[in-house]
Amino acid sequence: MLAAMFCTNSLMTPIDSIVARLAALHPKRIDLSLGRVERLLAALGHPERQGPPVIHVAGTNGKGSTIAFMRAILEAAGLRVHAYTSPHLVRFNERFRLAGELVSDDELSQTLAECERANAGASITVFEITTAVGFLLFARHPADVLLLEVGLGGRLDATNVIDRPLASVITRISVDHTDFLGDTIEKIAAEKAGIVKRGVPAIVASQPRDALAAIERQAARLAAPLKIAGEDFTATEERGRLVYQDEAGLLDLPAPRLYGRHQFENAGLAIAALRAQTAFKLPAPAFEAGMVKADWPARLHRLAQGALAELAPAGSELWLDGGHNPDGGRAIAAALADLEERVSRPLVLIVGMLSSKDCEGFLRNFTGLARRIVAVPVPGADKPLSADAVADAARAVGLSAASRDNLAEALEAVRKLDLDPPPRILITGSLYLAGEVLRENGTPPA
């Protein structure tokens, strides 16, 4: 089951086969520690010290979107940008973007094999060896900056071998992964604040009080200049535009391409991080272009065409979002409420979740908003909730629900509702489910 988390396609590719073999090197999928990855990086000649400057990003929600905005802005300024993100949705290659392009199958296979040889059969998690693969790739391809996303937590995450990034960024923190990070928001924030480095600017999204206090303590201990959303910078929607302001001045920008009011916050965090670092100065037109060019699949992503889109009721809208925790659900629900104000349609959710997530907490955000929940299993995932269990959770919070065995059957169930006007359908609850949607729809990330 460990390998299943890294392959959403039942027809395994050569890369998937290597990853499955690597999964056998450690009995746990997640085991937070720096010792194993440091040992492997030393055996590889420390590639993490040879790549471009790094902007390091931790947090619970919004990491990928914040990176997407930063990448779009930097590329609009003419800079070459590497990016390391996880998990992938359809292909393992999605984790490694080299100067704007996904790594090729051949180069990824060769680099995975190289790291496997260097590891020499020693115990190591898949994410740790994957991170070493990333550092090798990033060191071998010229670029101006690396956007590095934390896998889980921060303090003991495999990416936290970077000594002095250009900036440390912490997105919105909420309660998630309590079995690894602690059972309070303060403990979780302290783990994520572990990416803060001495003297390096730390840029922080708005946070619950206890989470912010933990971050402030870490920043003070390391004399890291701290910039906090709502205190040191603001990003607000005004007349359909994003107005950003900090001590350096004001930017009046187009609305973010990524949909949802929470994306204004993520865009503002990205702008603040890029204005806090001092390695390069970015012109105002780059920020403007970045807002309209940013792309991040499976985050309120409209599926206008594809195999699954064709199964949806005629005239309906089909949306996809990989949100899976209560705060993520709150952001999705707010965006859907905004859509409802613009164009009213009955809302139907197709939901699949993992047993490690707060299913009722996630679904509670949609009471009074969703007409119907259709629950499905998450194919190939580790510890999925059964469709019946998801449906039971929906009923427990007052939502009408049914269960189906797969996405095609779920869409058929929506068609049989015969809603008028045609519905707005959102598939949500899991990034692993989102990957399966993109694969079945024939629209994988490029």
Q: Which residue has the tokens 């049914």?
A: 402
Residue 105 lies in a domain: yes
> Do 173 and 219 share a domain, yes or no?
yes
State the DSSP code for 380: T
Is residue 223 exposed (0-12), middle (13-18) or buried (19+ Cβ within 10 Å)?
exposed
- Which amino acid would we find at residue 174? S
CB 315 within 8 A of CB 394: no
Torsion region of 173: left, alpha or beta (phi above 0 gives left; psi -120 to 50 gives alpha):
beta
Query: Which of 266, 293, 320 is the endpoint of a domain?
Result: 293
Please report, for the domain that includes residue 351, its CATH number. Answer: 3.90.190.20
> Do 289 and 311 share a domain, yes or no?
no
State the Cα–Cα distance between residues 375 and 377, nearest whole angstrom. Answer: 7
Angle of the 262-276 helix axis to the 326-342 helix axis, nearest 10: 120
> Do 188 and 276 share a domain, yes or no?
yes
> Do 85 and 204 share a domain, yes or no?
yes
Domain that holds residue 98: 3-293
Please report, for the domain that includes residue 190, its CATH number. Answer: 3.40.1190.10
Contacts of 73 (CB under 8 A, 6+ apart): 270, 271, 274, 282, 286, 287, 289, 290
Query: Which of 229, 263, 293 is the endpoint of a domain?
Result: 293
Residue 446 lies in a domain: no
> Do 277 and 316 share a domain, yes or no?
no
Tokens in use for 60? Answer: 């619970």
> Do 289 and 306 share a domain, yes or no?
no
pLDDT tens-place values along the chain, 446 residues long? 344 444 444 467 889 899 999 999 998 888 899 999 999 999 999 999 999 999 999 999 999 999 999 999 999 999 999 999 999 999 999 999 999 999 999 999 999 999 999 999 999 999 999 999 999 999 999 999 999 999 999 999 999 999 999 999 999 998 777 777 888 999 999 999 999 999 999 999 999 999 999 999 999 999 999 999 999 999 999 999 999 999 999 999 999 999 999 999 999 999 999 999 999 999 999 999 999 999 999 999 999 999 999 999 999 999 999 999 999 999 999 999 999 999 999 999 999 999 989 999 999 999 999 999 999 999 988 889 999 999 999 999 999 999 999 999 999 999 999 999 999 999 999 999 999 999 999 999 98
